Chain A
Amino acid sequence: MIYREAGQFKTTYASDQAIFPIVQDRVFVALALACAFAVPLAATEYWLQAILIPFLIYALAALGLNILTGYAGQLSLGTGGFMAVGAYSAFKLTTAFPEASIILVFLASGVMAAAVGLIFGIPSLRIKGFYLAVATLASQFFLIWLFNKVAWFVNYAPSGTITAPDRRVLGVIVTGPNSTAGARYLMALGFVVVFALIAKNLVRGRVGRSWMAIRDRDIAAEIIGVRPLRTKLLAFGISSFYCGVAGTELVFLFLGSAETLAFDINQSFLVLFMIVIGGLGSILGSFLGAAFIVLTPIFLTNVPHIVGLKMSVALLKQIELMIFGALIIFFLIVEPHGLARLWQITKEKLRLWPFPH
């Protein structure tokens, strides 16, 4: 056995409902967090830039979509659009108010995305299931069109792109061309840890229960007293907030500069894949799914090289698409609850190992 839980009795309800009820888990997580913050000291530029930073950013987006689709059951294909709202708002805000704290700018961009999310969430009271998914496509295509057409959003730049300027936190440059990967990594890490904690607190309490009630049986939920519009709008708002901040991070902490192509429908699908593979309705699943989707292309580009096969970039992209598609189907057949559930099953088996049951 990896570790024993025997002897750890929870004597209060509070300890029963804690996020990490087992002492060893708490220690492990504390250590993991400490290591995570210490990573910039040891990691290479490549690891930070190509793997860790996008992982943290997409984990945040996946958390957002998971709240909306995994917990509240509202299928959304508009993630890319909301990420765009975040990024473009942040760009406008920071160029208009260069003295403002970039952290506040990030948060404000999330609020903007949340506001837009609330507006596009209103139809969800009447529209459900696939119909809602198609309705979210309306928001996706409209928002991208808007950012393409209205030059004000890019400050009339002829290139049509938005670029992250240099901004500091506590004297260290964290965004823009002069920032280091380490600094950007710490920003992303900080945000995602805080927001993951908030998300976890929300889903294990009153708010999360009302979301899951709507998801599982919306009519019975309403008869019990859940207010459907309020609950759904809350999900849309918070989810869009998270996706908005993730979108901002995508430009400010990862890409450096971007145009609307970075937020198109493929982005929406990508994040959806993350939560399906990682596990719908699971905070951990959002992270696992994001890790999987970020690592797979890296894996695919490097493995044939190591094994000695030569493949063109186009072919790799096609195989990537095929593998993603096949994996979605695979997970839905084998384990609809995704990697998170597989992890749970593994832990249960580890408790008993080496005994079979």
Chain B
Amino acid sequence: MSQLYAFTLGPFADMVSSPVFLVEVIVGGIAAGLMYSLVALGFVLIFKASGVFNFAQGVMVLFAALTLVGLIERGLPVVLALVLTMGVMVALAFAIERIMLRPLVNQEYIILFMATIGLNFFLEGFGEMVWGANVKKLDVGIPDTSFMVAGVQVNKLEMTAAVTAAVLVTVLAVFFQKTRIGRALRAVADDHEAALSIGIPLKTIWVVVWAVAGLVAIAAGIMWGAKSGVQFSLSLIALKALPVLILGGFTSVPGAIVGGLLIGVGEKVGEVYWGPLVGGAIENWFAYVLALSFLLFRPQGLFGEKIIERV
């Protein structure tokens, strides 16, 4: 009986008894969630514009961060390193389009998905080979300190990430809805062949999209890298972006934010209040189970488009 209480009502009692702590946990969750959203943004971009589910997005984040840190370590000033990294990601986009996307242009999406899994492993090995496998410290001039707001501890770095994410999302949302290129991108996502047949330059579009996703990956890489150091586990964090996408829908830019927040807060709250009851480390699977439960009721996510099947 007391077990049952401990599991269901106990954590809620804990929450109520120290509300300041609860707020801090939630704020921490929001911050973590926004970092997930940054990664998810890259996914959404590519999926929205090319229909490809880029499993390698996480590794692109890692790769971007590795390149940046590697260049800084070799003595380049931060700004130059940043510019060069952007160049590298654009070049990567070109290469991906030429070598991987173009030959597979008419294949089913599941084949493209598996190709991105291959890309994932290739970039992982390549990044490690070029830049080395040890953990690197990334210093971008934002201190990882906290300050107090209304009695609640808030982390400067996490705030910066939050603001960055918010800005990026707004810019991208406007871009997709209002501009001509945005419309072309949405057409491509719907149907490659049809888009080709009305003259949309598929190759250019794809390079643009993957390059932008690469730049978003740099932003995400900087944030994550500054927080926890640049290392292999960064790409695992990116796997976490998948549940974010499920909650928010694969094609929605604001959905990536909302999904990220839900996952981030859900995870943190779950870990802090329920984690100790089952031995901790719930964060390993909580996000996925949350996403799974969600899928059962709303297979298209919160913001995704309802799929109407035709025969």
Contact = CB atoms under 8 A, between A and B. Distances in A.
Whether chain B is bound by chain A comes out as yes
Interface of A: 75, 123, 126-131, 133-135, 137-138, 141-142, 144-145, 148-150, 219-220, 223, 265, 269, 272, 276, 314-315, 317-329, 332-333, 336
B40 to A, nearest CB: 12
A149 B279 contact: yes
B242 interface: yes
A150 B280 CA distance: 11
A149 B278 CA distance: 8
B122 A325 contact: yes
A322 B129 contact: yes
Contacts of A219: 309, 311
From DSSP, what is the main secondary structure of chain A's interface residues? helix
Nearest to A334: B103
Contact of A127 (B53, B115, B117, B296): B296
Contact of A325 (B107, B120, B282): B120
B232 to A, nearest CB: 11
B122 A126 contact: no
B273 interface: no
From DSSP, what is the main secondary structure of chain B's interface residues? helix
A141 B281 CA distance: 11
Contacts of A145: 281-282, 284-285
Contacts of B114: 272, 276, 328, 332
Given A127-B296, A142-B289, A333 B104 contact: yes
Interface string B106-125: 01011101110111111111
A329 B117 CA distance: 9
B122 A336 contact: no
B123 to A, nearest CB: 7
Contacts of A220: 311
Contact of A130 (B113, B126, B278, B281): B113
B110 A75 contact: yes
A322 B285 contact: no
A320 B125 contact: yes
Considering the complex of A and B, which 8 residue pairs feature the smallest CB-CB distances, nearest first? A325-B122, A328-B118, A321-B125, A138-B288, A325-B121, A322-B125, A141-B285, A318-B125
Contacts, number: 129
A75 B114 CA distance: 10
A336 B110 CA distance: 11
Contact of A134 (B104, B121, B279, B291): B291
Given A141-B284, A325-B122, A328-B117, A315 B103 contact: no
B133 interface: yes
B299 interface: yes
A332 B119 CA distance: 12
Given A138-B291, A149-B279, A223-B311, A329 B122 contact: yes
8 contacts: A123-B295, A126-B295, A134-B291, A137-B288, A145-B281, A318-B125, A324-B118, A329-B99
B100 interface: yes
B139 interface: no
Given A276-B114, A325-B120, 17 more contacts: A127-B296, A128-B299, A130-B110, A134-B243, A137-B239, A138-B289, A141-B284, A145-B281, A314-B128, A315-B129, A318-B126, A321-B125, A324-B122, A326-B118, A328-B115, A328-B117, A336-B107
Contacts of B250: 130
B66 interface: no
Contact of A332 (B118, B279, B288, B289): B118
A137 B299 CA distance: 16
Q: Point out which of B117, B124, B278 has the most chain A C-beta atoms below 10 A from its C-beta.
A: B117
